[in-house]
Structure 1
Amino acid sequence: MVLVEIDEWRVWRTIEWQSDPMIRHVKSFEISSEGVEELRFLLHGPVGAGKSSIINTIKTVFEGHHYINCLTASALTGDSFTTKFEKFTIGQFAFYDVMGLEQGEYRGVHLDDIVSAVKGHVPEDYIFKPNAAIDKYNTQYINEPTLNDQIHCLVSVIPADKIAMIDDDVIEKMKKIRKAASDIGVPQVLFMTRVDQVCTMTQRDITKIYQSRKIKEKMMECSNRVGVPLNCIFPVKNYSEENKPNEKLNCLMLEAFTQIVHAANDYVKKNSKKEKKIEVVSC
Structure 2
Amino acid sequence: MAELSSLMDNTSHPMQDTLAAPHSSFSHQLIHPHCVKESHGWRIINTAFCAKTSSSAHKKEELHFVKNYQPQNREVKQLRILLHGPAGAGKSSFINSVESVLQNRITRRALTDTRSAKSFTTKYKAYNIHKEGPGTFYPFVFTDIMGLEDGSENGVCVEDLKLAMKGHIRDEYDFNPRCVISVDNPKYNKDPTLEDKVHVLVCVIDAETLSIMSDSSKRKMREVRLAASDMGIPQLAILTKIDEACPEVKKNVMNVYKSKYLKKQMDEFSATLGLSPNCIFLMKNYNSEIEINDDVDTVILSALKRILQSGEDFLNYL
TM-score (norm 2): 0.80
Is 2:167 the partner of 1:136? Answer: no
The reply on whether 1:49 has 2:80 as its aligned counterpart is: no
* Aligned mates of 2:187, 2:268 — CA distance in 1: 39
What is aligned with 2:66?
26
Q: Which secondary structure state, in structure 1, belongs to the residue aligned with residue 305 of structure 2?
A: helix
Query: How many Å separate the matches in 1 of 2:273 and 2:39?
Result: 24
Per the alignment, residue 148 of structure 1 pairs with 195
Equivalence map 1:109-258=2 (5 Å): 109-258=156-305
1:84 is matched with: 123
Cα distance 1:247–1:172, how it changes in 2: closer, same or farther (>3 A)?
same
Deviation, structure 1 residue 14: 2.3
Paired amino acid for 2:109:
N
Structure 2 gap ranges (5+): 1-37, 49-54, 130-137
* Equivalent residue number for residue 281 of structure 1: none
Query: Which residue identity is paired with 2:123?
Result: K
Separation (CA, whole Å) in 2 of partners of 1:158 and 1:193: 6
Q: CA deviation at 1:137?
A: 4.0
Measured at CA, do residues 242 and 10 of structure 1 come closer, stay the same or move farther in structure 2, by a change above 3 Å?
closer
Rounded to whole Å, the distance in 2 between the matches of 1:52 and 1:29 is: 23
Q: State the alpha-carbon separation in 1 of the partners of residues 169 and 45 from structure 2.
A: 38
Task: Return the letter of the residue paired with 1:188.
Answer: Q
- Which amino acid in 1 is paired with 2:220? K
Measure how far apart 1:34 and its partner are: 1.4
> Distance between the aligned counterparts of 2:41 and 2:177, measured in 1?
44
Residues 194 and 237, structure 1, Cα contact 8 Å, conserved in 2: yes
What residue ranges of structure 1 are gaps of 5+ in the alignment?
A: 1-6, 272-283
Task: Tell me how large the CA RMSD over aligned residues is.
Answer: 1.6
Farther-moved stretch of structure 1 (102-111 vs 126-135): 126-135
**How far does the alpha carbon of each residue in 1:222-266 deviate from its partner, in whole angstroms, 9 at most, with x for none?**
112222111100001000111111110000010000000010011
What SS does the aligned partner of 1:122 have? coil
In the alignment, structure 1 residue 61 sits paired with structure 2 residue 101: yes
Q: Please identify the structure whose Cα radius of gyration is greater.
A: 2
Indicate if the aligned counterparts of 1:147 and 1:268 stay in contact, CA closer than 8 A: no
Q: Residue 70 in 1 paired to residue 91 in 2?
A: no
Which one-letter code corresponds to 2:316 in the other structure?
A: K
Aligned to 2:179, what secondary structure does the other structure show? coil
- Tell me the distance in 2 between the aligned counterparts of 1:213 and 1:188: 24
- Is 2:51 the counterpart of 1:11? no
Report the alpha carbon displacement of residue 41 of structure 1 after superposing the two structures with TM: 0.4
The answer as to whether partners of 2:171 and 2:187 remain within 8 angstroms in 1 is no
| TM-score in terms of structure 1 length | 0.89
Q: Contact 1:118–1:151 (CA<8 Å) still a contact in 2?
A: yes
- Cα distance in 1, alignment partners of residues 62 and 40 from structure 2: 27
3-state SS of paired residue (2:123)? coil
Tell me the distance in 2 between the aligned counterparts of 1:133 and 1:21: 43
Distance 1:257 1:161 in 2: 22
Q: Do the aligned partners of 2:182 and 2:188 also contact (CA within 8 Å) in 1? A: yes
Q: Deviations over 1:194-241 (max 9, x none)?
A: 111122111111111111111101101111222211110000100011
Alignment of 1:249-268 (within 5 A): 249-268=296-315
Q: Percent identity?
A: 35
- Matched residue SS, 1:40: strand
Q: Distance in 2 between matches of 1:214 and 1:165?
A: 15
